[in-house]
Structure 1
Amino acid sequence: MISEQSWADARVLWDYHQMQHELRPCSVAIGLGSHDLSVADTAADLYKRGMAPLIVFTGATSATTRERMPRGEAVHYRERALELGVPGSAVLIEPEARNTGENIRFSRALLEESGAEVGSVLLITKPYEERRAYATARKLWPEVEIVSASAPMEFDDYIRSIGDARLVFDMLVGAVQRLQLYPAQGFMIFQSVPGEVAAAYARLSSAGFTRRLASNDA
């Protein structure tokens, strides 16, 4: 049973992780691989709305996705986008990346190889990965403008869509930890962590939501 305090703390982290960027048309959309197919759904929707003429899906597999997406995250994302009506000519896949930094670096290299001119990137992630992905992209690809996007869902609706509250709580905690650790390691730009977010993170960590901390990466 998850306590009321933990639910309240998780909502604090959920709100913090979202960048609240205003959507606008960009040179390309990049969908970062994960267990969550809503990234592909969002990419397809934004493509149809004219927000990007090209989509890159990036991601291999991880401990979380090995069974759900045996052919690789990028491949499954592409299949989902095609099912939703996106033409195959508008989708590139990058199937090797195993972390957020590789998602950005490998996608950038793929776009350069394809001859795409990129001045802005619509960076599509899970809702609770927006800030981490943004900070990583700004560090590794500072020349382009980054517009963050994710499925427009409320916290409770998102939990229901995933069907595993503990997984989401663990991910929320892990993303905050990386925002604090990774700037010093050169992996992302610094992001201020407000006191209420730091306190919620500490309580959730103490409550045992630690499976996705960096030291536990598979």
Structure 2
Amino acid sequence: MALVTKRSKKRKQYLILSLIFFFFFSNGFIVGKIINSYEAGYPKIQQYDVGIVLGGFSGLNKRNDEIAFSGASDRLFQAIALYKKGIIKQILLSSGSANLIDKEVKEADLALKYLRLIGIPDSAILIENQSRNTIENARYSLALIAKKNPQAKVLVITSAWHIPRAKIIFDRHTKNKIEYYPTNFSRGTEFELGDFIIPNTAALGTWELLFKEWIGLLVDRIRG
């Protein structure tokens, strides 16, 4: 009888812990406050020689062999807007292929075709199509800029949640000051009643994003 009682208590404890765990990680307010504090804010806007657009915003639509944009496509669209406003003089597309199977499809090449399609002149576009990750984004794109204009003022354009990791990596690869422009924020800064009390599966997705970035930070520190 005592053994049954102990097992029953343990089951209740596990159930309570599971409910607490589920409520914490599915709560929109909790993860919202964390992601809002983690994501980078806007820099004081000035003029830049080059805006580096980090990859991960598109792929190849094999049905028509055209570019297919992903949820991070705001990276490219914001770069285009910054160019049109005269804030950046050139757009540097930094992205090769992270696909181990189809290495021939280079994201930067796909994006180049799109920029040409909408009328961006080749003189305003730089291409770095060998990088497979953020470390290589920094290494290859900064090397390209150093050859053309060592004193160039550089703006890195990427997702708001990606900037903390990107900043550590890029700052490690240059002594020049670099600014960072955030795009596609994960969520707004306002909260509704449901965010406090109603479990939300979207919150789990945000946690997944954060954990990937935090693991990426750890791996990047190890790899250098």
Answer yes or no: is the 8 Å Cα contact 1:122–1:148 preserved in 2.
yes
Q: Counterpart of 1:141?
A: 174
Instruction: Answer yes or no: is 1:130 the counterpart of 2:163.
Output: yes
Instruction: Answer yes or no: is 1:27 the counterpart of 2:49.
Output: yes
Q: Counterpart of 1:9?
A: 31
Distance in 2 (alpha carbons) for counterparts of 1:70 and 1:179? 28
Instruction: Answer yes or no: is 1:40 the counterpart of 2:76.
Output: yes
TM-score (norm: length of structure 1): 0.67
Answer yes or no: is the 8 Å Cα contact 1:121–1:147 preserved in 2.
yes
Distance in 2 (alpha carbons) for counterparts of 1:11 and 1:73? 33
- Residue 89 of structure 1: how far off its partner (Å): 1.7
> Any residues of structure 2 matched to 1:51-200 within 5 Å, and which?
51-63=87-99, 71-113=105-147, 115-142=148-175, 144-151=176-183, 153=185, 155=187, 165=202, 169-180=207-218, 182-183=220-221, 185=222, 187=224
Answer yes or no: is the 8 Å Cα contact 2:39–2:185 preserved in 1.
no
Q: Counterpart of 1:203?
A: none
Distance in 2 (alpha carbons) for counterparts of 1:33 and 1:61? 9
- Residue 128 of structure 1: how far off its partner (Å): 1.1
| Amino acid aligned to 2:114 | R
Answer yes or no: is the 8 Å Cα contact 1:41–1:81 preserved in 2.
no
Answer yes or no: is the 8 Å Cα contact 2:160–2:183 preserved in 1.
yes
- Residue 47 of structure 1: how far off its partner (Å): 0.9
Query: Gaps spanning 5+ residues in structure 1: where?
Result: 158-163, 188-218
| Cα gap change, 1:171 to 1:83, in 2 (>3 Å) | farther
- Residue 76 of structure 1: how far off its partner (Å): 2.5
Q: Deviations along 1:62-84, whole A, 9 cap, x unmatched? A: 25x989x9732212332333344
SS in 1 for 2:92: strand
| Cα gap change, 1:152 to 1:117, in 2 (>3 Å) | same
- Residue 90 of structure 1: how far off its partner (Å): 0.7
SS in 1 for 2:56: coil
| Amino acid aligned to 1:42 | Q
Q: Residue 40 of structure 2: which of 8, 12, 18 is its match?
A: 18
Q: % of aligned pairs identical?
A: 22
- Residue 55 of structure 1: how far off its partner (Å): 1.3
- Residue 61 of structure 1: how far off its partner (Å): 2.1
Distance in 2 (alpha carbons) for counterparts of 1:177 and 1:153? 20
Instruction: Identify which range, 73-82 or 44-53, moves more after superposition.
Output: 73-82
Larger radius of gyration: 2
Distance in 2 (alpha carbons) for counterparts of 1:45 and 1:66? 33
SS in 2 for 1:123: strand
- Residue 7 of structure 1: how far off its partner (Å): 6.3
- Residue 138 of structure 1: how far off its partner (Å): 0.6
Aligned residues: 176
| Cα gap change, 1:84 to 1:129, in 2 (>3 Å) | farther
